[in-house]
Structure 1
Amino acid sequence: MSSRDKRSNTPDGAVPSGGSTQPAGHGVPTPRAMLVVVVVLGIQVLALLGSALSFILTAISAGPLAGSLLGLAVMFLIFAAGVAATARGSWKLHRWARPAAIAFELLVIVFAFSVIGGTLWLG
């Protein structure tokens, strides 16, 4: 039996198609605390999608501001896709997901401070 067959965890001795014998997530079980991170990011994805939808609905009757509102909707959809990918990456314990989540949260904090000037509750 070759060393390649010894590494394999398939019954016929074949190496899985990905070339790695480790399951997705690098073989490390996801800690329960990571569920909090994934849920918070998921809520933020839903908020971004809801905002994008409201921009689209408002753009229908906005007249000359419709282009700007649609641009904001596209931007929020792009952010939602990025945050959703970060949530998935966090659940699978990918190394790139942590700095992406932190960067997004910093953007949210900066946005919150800019809004505090208008209404403290909203900030």
Structure 2
Amino acid sequence: MKRFGFISLTVFLLFILAACSDDSNVDKEAESSDSGNSQQGGNMTIAIPSDIVSLDPHGSNDDPSEQIRDTIYEPLVTHDEDLNLVPALAEEYEQVDETTWRFKLRKELSFMTAVILMPT
């Protein structure tokens, strides 16, 4: 029981000391290390735990494929916290008839292409 009390007291004191430390120079250090080093463009490599099945949203339902699709694609509409449909890429949308919807896209959209290399 004494050992548990000693460990608990040590952990408690470490938390107190960490809370009292001075981190006022953290932002200054981050700014000085990032200044002048930012680049636009280039390649980005993402590691995932397994191979994707398909980039077609209707072609698979596995998690790795969904993670990549969520990175690449943005939907016309999405859901809010209450699961109501809200615009995403679309500014407005309306149902024209039973099988037809009309979407008005945001004006500031730009389209990019991506190359994904998959092992064969």
Smaller-chain TM-score range? under 0.3
TM-score (norm 1): 0.21
Structure with the greater alpha carbon radius of gyration = 2
**Which structure exhibits the higher relative contact order, with contacts defined as CA atoms closer than 8 Å and separated by 6 or more residues?**
1
